[in-house]
Amino acid sequence: NDGYRLWLNYEPVRNASVKSEYLKYAAFIGRPASGEIMQSASQELQLGLGKLLGKSVNITNSFAGKSGGIVFKIETSADTAQPVEGYRIQLSGGNMIISSKSEQGILYGTFALLRHMQMQLPVKGLNLASSPRVRYRMLNHWDNPDGTIERGYAGQSLWKWYELPERVDPRYADYARANASLGINGTVLNNVNASARFMSQEYIVKVAAVANVMRKYGIKTYLSVYFAAPKTLGGLKTSDPLDPQVRAWWKEKVAQIYKEIPDFGGFLVKANSEGEPGPQDYGRIHADGANMLAEAFKPYDGIVIWRAFVYKADPNADRFKAAHEEFVPLDGKFDPKVIVQVKNGPIDFQPREPFSPLFGNMPKTPLGIEFQITQEYLGFATHAVYEAPIFEECLDSDTYVNGAGSTVAKIVDGSLHGYERTLIAGVANTGNSRNWTGHPLAQANWYAFGRLSWDHQLTSEQIAREWIALTLTQNPKASGHITALMLRSREIYVDYNTPLGLSRPWMGVHFAPEPWQNKGSRPDWTAVYYHRADSIGLGFDRTASGSNALAQYRPEVQKQWNNPDQTPLPYLLWFHHVRWDKKLSTGRTLWEELCTRFYTGADSVVWMQQQWDLAKPSLDPQIYTDVAERLKVQRREAIWWRDAWVLYLQTFTKQPVPAGFEPPKQTLEEVKKSVNVYLMR
Ligand code: BDP
């Protein structure tokens, strides 16, 4: 098993009694006359049943009166109140019926049934029904036209622009199958730091060839746009969103795209952020830019997704506050076709962040959430970090904007403010590595993102168990060890990387420890800006005595984080500058607690190795070895992180490593040297 098949392994069902139950419904696949999505569903079912049951099952459209098969049924509003993409699977008249109002729902039901069968669950009383809670469930690829991937650690881009449109890599279809199996229904093919070339006719036809594959699996294709394209590609004098020629250019551009891609999804825009062009270059506001594009989409189904990831180069500002400051005043100013896409936290995909204070504070604007699946800040493709707890923690956070229970999830799924256009996006971790994600366990992050984008009520543990059963093993003991490893992996990483609410101990590479970095072209592009270590203590004061970023939250939330004595330890240094010798709730001083976390974090990687080894007898040898070797790298790098932090912070605390922990074997200068190797050109 080289990991290529992901969670669609379709291993033969070994439990004989379960298998004979399944075989009772394997006489035929009944598919009414249909479009291409239902054809994909029937083909997938045929493939799955073939492998699971070792039987080739025919697809037929003349199944009236027959029994013993699996039948697709399109329902009308009179039959069911379920949302369009929802499905139901039931036994009726000797058949198994997969019903939905849409072909897409049938496809999702088919994958749900295959999941059920892969897990060898019983048929008796089968009644599975599910609907997505969020409308746009999408991956954002940060893939560049030259095949590189920004913050990608699993090889080169899946999209082979130089071969398209004539050669359509078969892998595109497998990518689409994997996503559809989770309910993902949109994909942005190119990096938010976008190239204007995607707006050219040459590239539009390439994109159309990819979209033709995605369409068969109910996935819409989107593009990131370069805001200055009217100038650079169109030859206009300006890209000012209020200029009539610019507006006409975008209208024509969108029309040109729809000619080639009739179901085109829309645009994703990063504007006036990290050097990207945008409406502010012309003295306009974000809403001017977004609304101009929305106008171009008026005749079509497509949407404009405008990112709120902005922070200006102001030496006195707290970056934490930037998005809220810029976007809250724009609430109510966006066209209804615009969704504002907000990163889960206020800074940037850190191992742990409080939820973004934008959630709940723009009630008149649909806010989508953006998570990062690729492990930019989570050890690239060598550290095992199961991300579902990160997603879950944010979605479950209570913003209190409409009283208790106003969770981020309820804002994102539209139920709190009545948004109809709702969105969850994940920055993809895929590449052309044979196993798609580099680290075999990183597949679980793609899986978890997809499952949560469909249903944010699923728990991290449920999803982990499911993924393990589909992908690695169904042996209960082995599954227990791997579940334990996965569920603790994020806290372990946080402990050796950024404990107690530290953040961003990096410069540009986001790989090696650099908490000492104090030189950058702007203050918020240094590490010291974030942790603020000095002879007195550590952490960023964001209370009223500091930047007062806390004021961007509701009083109930402020109360949780305002008082350093009551702030939960995971968030402590996000909001407070704490004295080195302050006693924490654990009974240890800040310095002792930090050391405890750095050391136990790094040592816990050994525990992860043990869990993985205990599962070995039930694992495919190739996957076992791959993960075991990556865990060795993780162990070595966790010690590196620990030593870097401990030695660096000692230059402020002047205190020894607490008793019971062995002081680092290397000096700070030696660690810095070894880090510099990774930063050399
Ligand atoms: C940061 C990445 C950078 C992205 C940026 C973004 O370091 O590469 O371009 O986010 O989201 O995390 O636009």
- 543-572, pLDDT tens digit by residue? 999 999 999 999 999 999 999 999 999 999
Q: What are phi and psi of 398, to 5 degrees?
A: -95, 120
Number of alpha helices (DSSP H) and beta strands (DSSP E) in the chain: 20, 16
* CB within 8 Å of 98: residues ≥ 6 apart: 41, 70, 71, 72, 73, 87, 88, 89, 106, 109, 110, 113
Helix (H) or strand (E) holding 75, with range, is none
Identified catalytic residue from 11, 274, 581, 670: 274
Return the C-alpha torsion angle 437, 637, 599, 612, nearest 10.
40
Q: How far is the CA of 393 from the centre of ligand 1 (A)?
A: 22
Name all residues whose Cβ lies below 6 A of ligand 1: 150-151, 192-193, 270, 274, 309, 348-349, 376
Catalytic one of 85, 240, 348, 524: 348
pLDDT at 125: 87
- DSSP, collapsed to helix, strand or coil, labels residue 30 as strand
Instruction: Work out whether strand 127-130 and strand 87-92 pair parallel, antiparallel, or are unpaired.
Output: antiparallel
Mutate to test the pocket of ligand 1, among 141, 144, 148, 151 (most ligand atoms within 8 A of CB): 151
* Cβ-based neighbour number of residue 473 at 10 Å: 19
Amino acid type, 180: A
Say how many Å lie between the CA of residue 637 and the centre of ligand 1.
Answer: 23
How far, in whole angstroms, is CA 657 from its chain's centroid? Answer: 37
Ligand 1, atom 2: closest residue by C-alpha: 151
Catalytic entry in 288, 326, 370, 376: 376
* Other Cβ atoms within 10 Å of 501 Cβ, number: 26
Q: Is position 11 annotated as part of the catalytic site? A: no
Positive or negative, the CA dihedral 677, 678, 679, 681 is: positive
* Ligand 1 atom nearest to CA at 270: 13
CB 518 within 8 A of CB 533: no
Q: How far is residue 146 CA from its own chain's centroid?
A: 23
Percent of the chain as helix, strand, coil, to the nearest 5:
40, 10, 45
Residue whose entry in the numeric block shows the structure tokens 């052309």: 432
- For the CA of 349, the closest atom of ligand 1 is 12
Residue 267, Cβ density class (10 Å: 0-12 exposed, 13-18 middle, ≥19 buried): buried
- The residue whose CA is least distant from atom 13 of ligand 1 is 192
| Top mutation candidate among 141, 142, 375 for ligand 1, by most atoms within 8 Å of CB | 142
Domains of the chain: 16-130 (3.30.379.10), 136-457 (3.20.20.80), 494-540+577-679 (3.90.1330.10)
Query: Tokens 């306009």 label which residue?
Result: 284
pLDDT at res. 314: 87
Q: Clarify whether 150 is annotated catalytic.
A: no
Find the 42 Cα to ligand 1 centroid distance in Å: 40
pLDDT computed for residue 210 by the predictor: 99
Separation CA 128–CA 130 (nearest Å)? 7
Residues of the chain with pLDDT under 50: none
- The closest-lying atom of ligand 1 relative to the alpha carbon of residue 343 is 11
Decide: 637 and 674 in contact? Cβ < 8 Å: no
348 among known catalytic residues: yes
Biggest CA–CA distance in the chain, Å, is: 83
How far is Cα 384 from Cα 377, in angstroms, rounded to an integer? 12
Q: With the C-alpha atoms ordered 342, 347, 352, 356, is the resulting torsion angle positive or negative? A: negative
pLDDT of the residue at 627: 98
Note the pLDDT of residue 315. Answer: 82
Radius of gyration of the chain (CA): 26
CA-closest residue to ligand 1 atom 9:
193
Q: How far apart are CA 146 and CA 156, in angstroms?
A: 9
Q: Is 651 exposed, middle or buried (0-12, 13-18, 19+ CB in 10 A)?
A: exposed
Three-state SS at 313: coil
Atom 11 in ligand 1: residue holding the nearest Cα: 309
pLDDT computed for residue 427 by the predictor: 99
What's the CA dihedral at 355, 140, 265, 458 to 10 degrees?
Answer: -50
CB of 631 within 8 A of CB of 602?
no
